[in-house]
Amino acid sequence: MRLPAIRKSILQLLSDGEFHSGVRLADTLNISRSAVWKQLNSLTELGIETLAVSGKGYRLAQPLQLFDADAIEGGMNARVRSLVSELIIHDQISSTNTYLLECAHAGAPAGLVCLAEYQSAGKGRRGRQWVSPFGANIYLSLLWRYQHGPAGVSGLSLAAGVAAIRALRSFGVHEAGLKWPNDIYWQDRKLGGILVEVSGETEGPCVVVMGIGLNVFLPARQAQGINQPWTDLTAVMNGHAPPRNALAAALINELLPALAEFDAGGIADYLQEWRGYDCMYGKRVSLLIGSECRDGFVMGIDDKGLLLLRQQDGTVRAFASGEVSFRR
Ligand code: BTN
């Protein structure tokens, strides 16, 4: 979905983060000053913070780099360009995952890629909300189809985590790691997350939507509802986060081949690398499974990608699901 044309134009004018006088904005957009003011107010609904200073005008609290299809396609490698059936960029959408699931049910082909500047109902794992203010982060989903049923893609979410870390490390974010199954962490803080949704019959075929949310610049005010330690690339890289278009291209370059080639090698291709990125190994954690809580020490993952937990009685047990939290 597109933003109304005037709102998009005002955002493009303000995206440089500099002050723009109300009179100038009104003239450029050919609207009244009160219409400018109304438009600026409506930006808060999208999670965009604006500042007004008398005598100077208006500016965004943070400059914006809007997604640009040409820049993203230009950053894709040749192999990935051949895998992409279409790249769709929404100004606003409920959730890029939900959108691609709808496209899948309407028959969309594998290789559909969707980015959004803003999600009004971004989805996290376990039914949580994913905070998705406008233009601040990356909200990306990719669609792939398989001939087999959903059982054949178990482990794909770990592969997605490995692919995301490869992309981050290509920008020098060497301390980025994974918290089982695929949370992207940096120094005990969550930097991003992955939600893999699968739909299909037991015998196949099935369709997978892989969604990733990566915090690039998450305004503290927007993050108030997040109930775990978090960070963003701007903090991690001392104010020098890579351009969002370059990040999006790098993520697509890694995630799409992981989806396309998962049939050939499965999780075995990723186990060793995943273990190298494990930021929980040896740590004391609580594992929440439904309403049950188990304490123990993480002993990595087994060859199926299940979490290995050394329990208080000394036995090591493998878990297929659950929510892990660090015990400090
Ligand atoms: C998690 O809880 O860690 C998973 C977060 C996944 C968020 C991404 S943002 C793009 C895609 N669309 C969604 O609604 N969710 C995923």
CA-nearest residue, atom 3 of ligand 1? 193
- Beta-strand ranges (E) seen in 152-252 are 176-179, 183-186, 189-200, 206-214
Residue 124 CB less than 6 A away from ligand 1: yes
pLDDT value at position 328? 63
DSSP β-bridge partners for residue 113:
87, 142
pLDDT value at position 157? 95
Dihedral over Cα of 254, 185, 88, 28: its sign:
negative
Hey, which of 67, 99, 186, 212 would you mutate to test ligand 1's pocket, going by the most ligand atoms within 8 Å of its Cβ? 212
Distance 168 CA to ligand 1 centre (A): 17
Coil, helix or strand for 264?
helix
The pTM of the full predicted model, rounded to 2 decimals, is: 0.96
Residue 123 CB less than 6 A away from ligand 1: yes
Question: Per the structure block, which two tokens stand in for 97?
Answer: 């995952």
- Closest atom of ligand 1 relative to the 96 alpha carbon: 12
pLDDT value at position 327? 74
Dihedral over Cα of 239, 245, 246, 247: its sign:
positive
Residue 139 CB less than 6 A away from ligand 1: yes
Residue 245 CB less than 6 A away from ligand 1: no
- In the chain, which residue ranges form alpha helices assigned H by DSSP? 5-14, 22-29, 33-43, 69-75, 78-83, 96-105, 156-169, 233-236, 244-265, 271-277
Contacting residues for 16 by C-beta, under 8 A, at least 6 apart:
63
Question: Per the structure block, which two tokens stand in for 238?
Answer: 């001392």
Question: Alpha carbon of 285 to those of 38, 297, 327: distances in Å?
Answer: 49, 6, 5
Distance 91 CA to ligand 1 centre (A): 17
How far is 125 from 136, CA to CA, in rounded Å?
Answer: 20
pLDDT value at position 9? 95
> Strand order of the sheet with strand 189-200?
86-93, 112-119, 138-146, 206-214, 189-200, 183-186, 176-179
Question: Alpha carbon of 153 to those of 83, 84, 253, 278, 280: distances in Å?
Answer: 19, 20, 20, 21, 24
- Closest atom of ligand 1 relative to the 95 alpha carbon: 14
Residue 195 CB less than 6 A away from ligand 1: yes
* Angle, CA 186 vertex, CA 180 and CA 188 arms, to 5°: 70
Question: Per the structure block, which two tokens stand in for 270?
Answer: 């990723």
How far is 309 from 281, CA to CA, in rounded Å?
Answer: 10
Which positions are catalytic?
A: 125, 190, 327
pLDDT value at position 294? 93
pLDDT value at position 225? 86
How far is 91 from 6, CA to CA, in rounded Å?
Answer: 13
Average pLDDT per consecutive 10 residues, the chain (328 residues; last block may be shorter): 93 95 95 94 91 94 94 98 98 98 98 98 95 96 97 95 98 97 95 97 96 96 91 97 97 98 95 97 95 95 97 95 85
How far is 124 from 318, CA to CA, in rounded Å?
Answer: 24
